[in-house]
Chain A
Amino acid sequence: DGGITQSPKYLFRKEGQNVTLSCEQNLNHDAMYWYRQDPGQGLRLIYYSQIVNDFQKGDIAEGYSVSREKKESFPLTVTSAQKNPTAFYLCASSADRGTGLSDTQYFGPGTRLTVL
Chain B
Amino acid sequence: AQKITQTQPGMFVQEKEAVTLDCTYDTSDPSYGLFWYKQPSSGEMIFLIYQGSYDQQNATEGRYSLNFQKARKSANLVISASQLGDSAMYFCAMREPRNNDMRFGAGTRLTVKP
Contacts and interface: CB of A to CB of B under 8 A. Distances in A.
A104 B47 contact: yes
Interface residues of B, number: 25
A101 B101 contact: no
A105 B102 contact: yes
Given A103-B95, A104-B50, A98 B101 contact: yes
Interface in B93-114: 95, 97, 100-102, 104-107
B3 to A, nearest CB: 10
Given A42-B105, A45-B101, A58-B101, A102 B45 contact: no
B100 A101 contact: no
Interface residues on A, range: 20 to 34
Contacts of B52: 101-102
B107 A42 contact: yes
Contacts of B97: 99, 101
Contacts of A104: 35, 47, 50
B106 A41 contact: yes
A14 B112 CA distance: 39
Contact of A42 (B33, B35, B91): B91
B47 A48 contact: no
A104 B50 CA distance: 8
